[in-house]
Amino acid sequence: MRIFHVTAEQFTELPELPEQMPATGYLWIGSARREFEVTTAALQTALQRLTGAQLVDLHVSDLLNNQLPSHFDYTSAYDLLVFRRLAAGSGSSGLFLDDAQGTLSTAKRALEAIDTSPVGFAIFDRLLLTVHPTDCPVRDFFATRLPQMIQNAEQRTGAPSRLPPSPDDLMLRMVNHMVDSYLELRRLLTKQLGYLQQELFNPRSHFDSWQVLLDSRNALHLLEDTCEDQRSAIVEWIDALDEWPTEHDPQTMRERELLRLRSRDVLEHIERVLSHVRRLESSAETAVQMHFSAQSNRTNDIMRTLTVLTAIFMPLNLITGFFGMNFDGLPLIHAPTGVWVATITMVIVGVGLGLFFWRKRYLSTSHKR
């Protein structure tokens, strides 16, 4: 567990929870899910001491639930947001780097490595409690990023530090960072589906790994459901933000407007992610349809070629059948040049039909007439 004190100009990590709320700024408590489960009683006591309220038991269960979808809820003392992240699992980003050609097994392992673990946010007036998965880099990223923002501001004399002015703003920045982390996952998924499409359209490849393709489609469906839950949670947050009591203080009004702008920006990013996931789904469906269409066209080409060959040899079979009848009165039967006349006739007929079908493009790869 890490505890931070955030003010307009300072970002300080505290060794332990303070006995009372600081005079200025707000507190950020970042805890791993397992640690939160072990220290729930102590945290509830600290929240009661610092904010005058505790987490509802149902919300504690939500924060501990690793399978909970993204959603938003609120009480009179705090707001609760559970947001499932979209990230590549550990080691999945390098699966294709080890094998330049790629294999279906690596594609399957990469698809199985997609991580959609939830991150929980309990937003009080002057305190933010975040509950992360054990390996979630979001907390460490902001613990490193926020001091850098102060250093950058100090290097530019008179420039504002741009630190999050409230727990709500910090929560939105963390959510936005999790949404933007989809960019790495997007490249991974695009590369995987691109390889599967190449396998589908490779004429020398006998594609039979339909289970991998089915797994990729299921992964995209899972991502679509996750994005829709994310969008619903942020929409509910925006609706709750609009219902906050009206403030007449200019500074508070400006902070409220910035929260609305940042919330709409997060919603727009989620919409872009959802749009891209749906495009990938459409691309996968189109690739399968094009694969079967190509197989059908290939079958049609084979059948057309066999039909043309059959049409060429039918007159030749007729000629050989005619002269093969067991009658003495057939023409050319007893003539010494009869075999050559029949052979030349069959060659002329065969070549003539072959040229005829070739001009009709029945024996070519092009179907234009």
CATH number at residue 268: 3.30.460.20
Examine the domain organization and report whether 130 and 255 are in the same domain: yes
For 151-161, what is the mean pLDDT?
61
- Residue 48: pLDDT band (50, 70, 90) is very high
Q: Report whether 127 contacts 54 (CB < 8 A).
A: no
Report pLDDT for 104: 52
Taking CA atoms, 278 is separated from 57, 96, 116, 219, 336, in Å, by 37, 23, 17, 12, 77
Examine the domain organization and report whether 286 and 344 are in the same domain: no
Is residue 73 one of the residues assigned to a domain? yes
* Higher per-residue pLDDT: 27 or 301: 27
Is residue 304 one of the residues assigned to a domain? no
Is residue 317 one of the residues assigned to a domain? no
Is residue 315 one of the residues assigned to a domain? no
- pLDDT of residue 245 exceeding 60, the answer is yes
Which pTM was predicted? Answer: 0.72
Poorest-pLDDT segment among 23-32, 50-59, 290-299, 313-322: 290-299
Examine the domain organization and report whether 234 and 352 are in the same domain: no
Examine the domain organization and report whether 330 and 271 are in the same domain: no
Q: Which two tokens stand for residue 146?
A: 């926020």
Q: Report whether 32 contacts 138 (CB < 8 A).
A: no
Is residue 283 one of the residues assigned to a domain? yes
Q: Tell me the C-alpha distance between 266 and 230, whole Å.
A: 10
Q: Tell me the C-alpha distance between 92 and 288, whole Å.
A: 25
Taking CA atoms, 53 is separated from 12, 50, 350, in Å, by 24, 8, 96
For 218-238, what is the mean pLDDT?
86
Q: Tell me the C-alpha distance between 368 and 361, whole Å.
A: 8
Residue 302: other Cβ atoms inside 10 A: 10
Examine the domain organization and report whether 188 and 45 are in the same domain: yes
Please name the residue that has the structure tokens 């990230």: 87
Is residue 308 one of the residues assigned to a domain? no
Q: Print the domain residue range for 222.
A: 2-295
Examine the domain organization and report whether 287 and 337 are in the same domain: no
Number of domains in the chain: 2
Is residue 36 one of the residues assigned to a domain? yes
Candidates 20, 19, 25; CA nearest to 4 is 25
Examine the domain organization and report whether 223 and 350 are in the same domain: no
Q: Tell me the C-alpha distance between 250 and 230, whole Å.
A: 31
Burial class from Cβ neighbours inside 10 Å (0-12, 13-18, 19+) for residue 84 reads buried
Examine the domain organization and report whether 248 and 368 are in the same domain: no
Candidates 115, 118, 130, 32; CA nearest to 79 is 130
Examine the domain organization and report whether 331 and 289 are in the same domain: no
For 270-297, what is the mean pLDDT?
81
Q: Which residues pair with 29 in a beta bridge?
A: 3, 129
- pLDDT of residue 363 exceeding 60, the answer is yes
Is residue 123 one of the residues assigned to a domain? yes
Examine the domain organization and report whether 277 and 341 are in the same domain: no
Burial class from Cβ neighbours inside 10 Å (0-12, 13-18, 19+) for residue 175 reads buried
Examine the domain organization and report whether 276 and 333 are in the same domain: no
Examine the domain organization and report whether 214 and 340 are in the same domain: no
